[in-house]
Amino acid sequence: MSLGIAIIGSGNIGTDLMVKVKRLSEKLEVAALVGIDPASDGLARAKRLGIATTADGVKGLVDLPEFKDVRLVFDATSAAAHRHNYDLLREHGLPMVDLTPAAVGPYVVPPVNLDAHLDAPNVNMVTCGGQATTPIVAAVSAVAPVAYAEIVASIASRSAGPGTRANIDEFTETTSRALEVVGGAERGKAVIILNPAEPPMKMRDTVFCLLEHAAESEVDESAISVSVAAMVAKVQQYVPGYRLKQEVQFDPVEHPFVPGLGRPFRGTKVSVFLEVTGAGHYLPDYAGNLDIMTSAALRTAERLLERKEEAR
C-alpha cells in the first residue's frame, strides 16, 4: 500500500520531487502539490497527473479533502518560508522533510546517518552541496581525524532558481555545519559558485580535507581511497549520476597559519573531485544539484514512513 505525501513548493525542486515519487517510489503516492503561484508549471503538471493542487500555500493544503490521506510533508520552498510552514503544520503531527537550508530539525545525509533521526518530527536535507560532499568528508574521517574540511560546490546558473539565490547565506552556514556535525570534521567551510557558462555545466564539487599529523607515514592513503570509493557507491544507489572525476589526491602541507583552523598546520591535504549528473526526470541533466536533493529527500522519506509503519 502506498502512503500519501504532500509537497509544498511547486518550483523546480518540488516538481522534480513529484515526478520522482510518481516514477520511482513503490511506497509513496503524491496526495497534493502546494504552491503560491496559480500559473506555475508544477501545479499545471500536477493537475494533468490527477494530483490535488492548491495555490493557497499551507492553509490551502489543510483545507484540501486529500489532506486526510497525507502521512508526510516535503517542504521545497525557502528557509524563511519553511519556518512558517512548520509552525502551521506542527499541530497535525505530520513528519516533515525539509529541502531548504532552514535547519529547524537535525541534518540527514542518507549514506551517513539515515537511521539516526527517524523519530524526529522535522529532518533537514542540508543543501545540494551538503548532500554531495558531506559523505566524502565522513568517509575520510572514518579513517583519520579531519582537522578542517572545505568544499566548493559549482552549479550551473540556470539550475539556481529564486529559492537557491535567496538562500546563499543559509547555504554556506548550513553546509559548513553539516561538514562538522555529520561529516566529522573539526572545522568546516563551504563555498558555492553559480557558473553562468553556456552550455550549462554539470554540478562539480571539490572536497579538501586536512589531516593533521607529524609524519607522512601516519596517513593510510589506501584506506582513505577505499573508504571514499565505498561511500561513492552508496550515494550512487539513489543518485546514479554521482561519480569521482579522478582518483583521490594526497599532498603534504605545512603552513604557519591556516585561516580555517586559526592556527599552524602540518599534515596532509586530501582532495576529492566529484561530478553530479541529474537523472533528467523533470530538469535537464546538468541540474545535478537539484537531483541529488530530491533523490536524498525521497530516500529519507521512504525510510521515515517505513519506520512509522513498523512501529504501528
Q: Is 294 annotated as a binding residue?
A: no
Does the annotation list 11 as a binding residue?
Answer: yes
Residue 10, marked binder:
yes
Neighbours of 169 (CB within 10 A): 10
Amino acid in the structure at residue 123:
V
- CA–CA gap between residue 202 and residue 285 (Å, rounded): 7
48 marked ligand binding residue: no
Q: Which amino acid, one-letter code, is at 268?
A: T
Residue 133 assigned ligand-binding role:
no
85 annotated to a ligand binding site = no
* Residue 164, annotated as binding a ligand: yes
Q: Is 165 annotated as contributing to ligand binding?
A: yes
Strands 242-244 and 263-276: antiparallel
Q: Is residue 124 classed as helix, strand or coil in its secondary structure? A: strand
Give yes or no for a contact between 51 and 19, defined as CB atoms under 8 angstroms apart. Answer: no
163 annotated as ligand-binding = yes
527517524: which residue's cell? 118
Does 204 count as an annotated binding residue? Answer: no
Residues in CB range of 222: below 8 A, 6 or more apart: none
Can you tell me the distance from the alpha carbon of 275 to that of 295, in angstroms, rounded to the nearest whole number? 16
Residue 96 corresponds to which amino acid?
M
- Known catalytic residue: 209? no
Give the number of other CB atoms < 10 A from CB of residue 256. Answer: 8
Would you call the peptide bond into 284 cis, given omega within 30 degrees of 0 as the criterion?
no
Active-site residue, selected from the candidate residues 102, 128, 274, 298: 128
Residue 57 dihedral angles phi and psi, to the nearest 5°:
65, -155
Dihedral pair phi/psi, residue 96, rounded to 5° = -120, 135
Do residues 284 and 95 touch, judged by C-beta distance below 8 A? Answer: no
The annotation places the binding site at 10-13, 159-167, 289
Q: List the catalytic residues.
A: 128
The annotation places the binding site for NAD(+) at 10-13, 159-167, 289
